[in-house]
Amino acid sequence: MLYLCRYSLRTGLGLAALLLLSSAASFGCGGSSPEAYPKAVYLGTTHTVLLASTVGGNEPITLDLGITSLTLTNQDGKTFILFDGPNCADNFAACLGTEFMHVNGRVSAPLLSADTPEGIYTAATISVGECSADLVAATTGYYGFCNLATGSGAATISLPTPLSVLGPDLALNLQLDLDRSIQTTAGCFTASSSTSSCDFTLAPAFTLTTIPIAQPPTSIQNGLITGINGQIQTAASGTLQLLTGEGAKLTLATNSSTQIQGLAAIADLAPNMYVQAGAALQPDGSLLATRVEVDTPAALYWSTGTLITGIDSYSPEFQFATLAHLGSTFASPLYSVTGGTAYTTASAFTDLASLPFPAVFNAQTMIAGQSASIFYSILQEPTYPNLPPAAIITLEPQALEGSVAAVSQSDQFTVYQITLAADDLFAELQPTTTIYPRLSDLSTAYVYAGPSTLSPSTALTTGATAVFRGLVFDDSGTLRMDCERVIPVGQ
């Protein structure tokens, strides 16, 4: 006989299931039988937000990937297409795409949201149709191209554990592992590389995991999203519509708890402003802005990326590798500075004056490897010597990965002396000439974690490896970071 028993398994999560119990003997829905095995049939849907992140090395400097499809397979072999787009070799905007280096170091960026059938998913497949990258060496400048692997070396995706897609809302983290993805030859991605070309093959290796959403989210492990860069399209009461530098459209809710930095009040936010934002995933899958930072409300154009050179002693120009840009149809690799150029730091960092070192960012302390945003009001083709003049250059937070060589205390700050990873950009980008600012020690940085730093519950000790995120300064040839977050490797 076949018995159909309905159980409510929501327990506050919104899950409904049917248990199909089959047996040769008769028994009631509350009974049991050694020959019967209950099987859950999931009926609901879960609002799912897909986030992108990256772990691994620091090269390439920029890496744009266009995902053409992403499919989930549940334990019964049934598939759900989370995304399916056209081949984007000739139209990157048609893909599910983002720049993956700006989310390196456990920073996440939203890719899409969808209603996913509830269930236990045990496998996934992914296809990548486009790859674009910038590589830089101090001795040779820009070089190299990104080629996607094909056949058995094409994009792969693994699930460390089955995905329990249950309840009203869930976040999925699509994480690119650079160390497993890059296929290259000896001499590339090293500080000593002197090759003039370093074309490399990328076999994108992803992992897909669930992120339980806490209320309220307190970290990127439970629904807090950081590193959202974009331009305001509309600013209505309680809602911001953003266009990100990667071309995604996001809606952020705002309320009295949203921190506004760089402006007097939330009412001062207006269309066309460039903002940096953090957001918290809500139970319905929407995004609530936790902070909105405006560094320059009057800028017409904006680019964010990595400084390839500082300002030399002979000409007021610098090279720049763009991660994302808005307002203009091209991203300039060269900018100039004038006597009117302003130098600022991300306004979320409010403890600079209390640091036990001079946290100064200006034309004399700009150094290759720093993350920055360039704001400029005059758009012109970058034809030397007529380069776009930077109105404002803002030092932005970035990730440093390294092992702890020593730990000390300086006033209210814990100071970590770290040995940088072998492929760290600061070492790779240091010039061979003396006309640019140059580091005296290419393998060491000092990280200052203060009272506001998000740190692990267990203090780091000598030998531990971690990712540190914050503002990096050049202190007379020594790298020092004002740290906002410490994340031990493996968490």
Query: Residue 100 carries which side chain, given as an amino acid letter?
Result: F
Taking the domains of the chain in order of start, what are their residue ranges? 2-42, 45-211, 224-293, 398-488
* Residues 422, 477: Cα–Cα separation, whole Å: 19
Q: Which residues lie below 8 Å from residue 87, measured CB to CB, with a gap of 6+?
A: 68, 129
Max Cα distance, the chain (Å): 92
DSSP element (H, E) containing 179 = helix 178-181
N- to C-terminal Cα distance for the chain? Answer: 49
B/e letters for 152-185, b = 16+ CB within 10 Å, e = fewer, are eeebbbebeeebebbbbbbbbbbbbbbebbbebe
Contact 177, 56 (CB under 8 A): yes
Rounded to whole angstroms, the Cα distance separating 367 from 475 reads 10
If you write DSSP's letter for every residue of 421-488 in order, what string do you get?
PTT-HHHHH--SSSSS---S-SSEEEEEEEEEEE--SSPP-TT-EEEEEEEEEEETTEEEEEEEEEEE
Q: 3-class secondary structure for 252-286?
A: EECCCCCEEECCCCHHHCCCCCEEEEEEEECCCCC
For residue range 351-365, list pLDDT tens digits in order. 999 999 999 999 889
Q: What is the per-residue pLDDT for 28? A: 41
Distance in angstroms (rounded) separating the CA atoms of residues 371 and 398: 6
> Do residues 150 and 174 lie in contact, with contact meaning Cβ atoms separated by under 8 Å?
no
Q: How many CB atoms lie within 10 A of CB 318?
A: 25
How many residues are given for the chain?
491
Rounded distance between C-alpha atoms, residue 366 and residue 377, angstroms: 21
The CATH homologous superfamily for domain 398-488 is Nucleic acid-binding proteins (2.40.50.140)
Q: Which residues, including other chains, have CB under 8 Å from residue 42's CB and lie 6 or more apart? A: 15, 16, 17, 117, 118, 119, 166
Alpha-carbon distance 332 to 316, whole Å?
15
Give the integer Cα–Cα distance in Å for 355 and 171: 36
Q: Give the model confidence (pLDDT) of 262-313 as tens digits.
A: 888 888 999 988 888 888 888 777 889 999 988 777 777 888 888 887 776 6
CATH number for the domain formed by residue range(s) 224-293: 2.40.50.320
Can you give the pLDDT at residue 386?
74
C-alpha count within 13 angstroms, C-beta hemisphere, residue 489: 16
DSSP classification of residue 103: G
Provide block-wise average pLDDT over 10 residues at a time, the chain (491 residues): 31 35 38 48 82 79 85 94 73 70 71 88 92 64 67 83 87 89 63 55 91 77 78 90 77 91 89 87 82 79 82 73 66 81 86 95 90 80 73 89 94 95 79 66 93 85 91 95 87 57
pLDDT value at position 4? 33
